Structure 1
Amino acid sequence: MTSLEVNIQTTIFSEERESNMKKLKVSFILVFVMMVIGVPITQAASTTNASGISISVNGNEIPSDISPVIYGGTTLVPLRTLQDAFDVSFEWNNSTKTLTFVKGDKSGTLIVGNQTASINVGGKKNTMTLNQPPMIIQNRIMAPVRFIGELLDEKIVWDATKQMISVTTDSSPSDVSGNSKGDKGETGATGSQGDKGETGATGSQGDKGETGATGPHGDKGDTGATGPAGPQGDKGETGVTGPAGSQGDKGDTGATGPAGPQGPQGESGDNKLAYGYAENPIFSGSVTEAGVPLIWGNMGGIAGNFDSSPDGIIVLKGGTYYITYHVNLKVAKSIGVRLLIDGSPLLKSSIPKGDAKSSYSGTVIVNIPPGSKISLQLYDAIESVELLEMNQGQGASMTILKVS
């Protein structure tokens, strides 16, 4: 188990709540920020989400260390935040990146990076397509809240004015903070009833007109007797079928006409889920104030969208990209970490030198012109550092995802 996995599992298996809270058995081992077609992708940075979206369960706003996000028009929430309210058990399979949740006779399966979800209600299995696939952001599984809420019969309401997701469960023995609700107060006395107002006068009804006289009905005449049916004649004999004529010879096949000209090749479509990644760098030495770029040991991605060089990923198509990086050191050090675009620092990706620590992560969304090279650099220190080796975990990684 890597240090990143231990960190995530420890976060999820926090202390048990007080005796008036439901006992939750959750086993999450979250690795990387997103899963695209089964390829490992770096975990997202521990940054504060700027969306400002909050979550309310049974009228009580609940805290969350990561805010919900709206991605592709779909609201994604951290499942760890809602497991108290939904009283649901989760199980994580790290090898298949699959999350299984169970409540009573209902269960479902979500796969990170996959828009197809499997559901089982009362032993009846089915599949459905999600608007957005689950993803991992800042060590938390983010999934469509409406899919899980409706499957588990929880009411989900979006308040656009308050930027709030309201969840109403079918039972709530205690509030989500763990404090028992007080007894219901006595009903106040009923006030006296006011006097009944006077009834208005009813208008007079008009006279009914006279009904005209009905004329006399004439007598029905007698039905005449039905005569007897005549006898049916005998069926005549079928004539003899004449012999079939002989089949004529097959005519010659006509000449094939010339083939029409081939139309021009259409333009290649824009793959908005194109991705590239770099991992397992080999680095053990001194960091300088000017900075030292990492040299990658393993790189990959969607062909035609990215190319690779020893110290970075080359973007072949311009557009808006979601970029994450992660650096793990054997010993905590005080260094700076940042992304470079064609050798120039990307300021909003920088983590300045500060307190010594062993893990650094960052996430940015940035517009990148075609042909640009993206590199990861350690800088702003004169320190000797060692990255984690492959048998210890991921020393460093960088992932690029094209979003538009």
Structure 2
Amino acid sequence: MDLHTTLGAIYQRTRPRIIAALLRRYGDKTLAEDALQEAVTRAYTLWPESGMPANPETWLFVTAKNQLIDALRKHHKEVLLTEESLNVWAEPDLLYNSDTLRLFFICSDPLLSQPQQITLALNVLAGIPSSSLARAFLVSETAMEKRLSRAKLTAHQLALNTDTPFIDPRRLDAVQGMLYLLFTEGYNAASSPLTNKISFSDEAITLTRDLLSLLPGNNEIQSLLALMLFTQSRRNARFSGRKPVPLDEQDRTLWDQRMITEATALVTQLTRTSPPGYYQLQACISGAHSTANSAEATDWNDILFLYNALYQLHPTPVVALNRAVATAHVHGAQKALEELAGLQASLSLYQYFHSTRAHLLKRAGQHPQAIDAFRHAYALSQQDWERDYIEQEIRGLEKKRKK
């Protein structure tokens, strides 16, 4: 792996902790981001000649911290170099035992709207680009950039307090949303055949464990951790070379049984004192896939039942789209396509709506329409490996038409 790729991977996995640690000690988000960028720039200059440090993450933190101190002095701000400030990297926040988790709670200020809370935290702290956030929230990249600008302006106008907040239940839903989107972004990146790095998905699992240790017995946090583990267990089977492998064709011997066992135990241990929540239902759906011995043994009737319950609780277009896949397995592709017809307007910019619809049309024998749907998905794809896969599907269908 070349230096550019290696440093990029180190920066991605270390950024949340460095930004969070600097912000806890010095309280200036903009200067913290600028200082880290300067540290990365220096690494690109110095490491090719001097070699990579034994602990590159600590090198980046110390360099960024020194840069930030210099910047504060230039702004005529007093810098108190206490023993705590020197050890801020090694000693996390005492209440949360994680600077990153602490900062998620800070960004979840009730004075911000929940979309503002989540986009602000993931963009500023984790550095997730606006294009990825736009896909997650089903809006255009331009709309997401405007949302981020408004969120940053609002946070500035509200003088967002960077003191450690108490674990406020009003902030918990937003923090769980941040963790799940952080996991999803990392899972998709780490599963790509073009990457070889520790991803945000690993960090999200660690942070969710930390959150569960703060609030033991919380059904939704426990379910979120189970959902992540079920999903992460299948990561190594998602690709064969550059080609993505559908779930029902994956080599299940590559699935991480240790994670599946832990996730199953977490779901089994959930208390039954209240109706199942958003993450509990998703964990049960993912568990139904992960614990089936084969694709043929998958209980699609149970999965459809769970999706119906999830849609009643959270009636969003994406939930309806996923439910349609279960419908296809239980009632046939044509019935699923009828369900998708009502989602066209709301999911027109969502790549996976068009690719799902294309597969259902292919399954229903409607090959010309399937080709058209695959082309829509191709136009919205931002990954080369996805485009390669879609092109292969189109070529296969075109060959069938010529016969």
TM range (shorter): under 0.3
* Higher share in helix: 2
TM-score (norm 2): 0.21
* Higher share in strand: 1
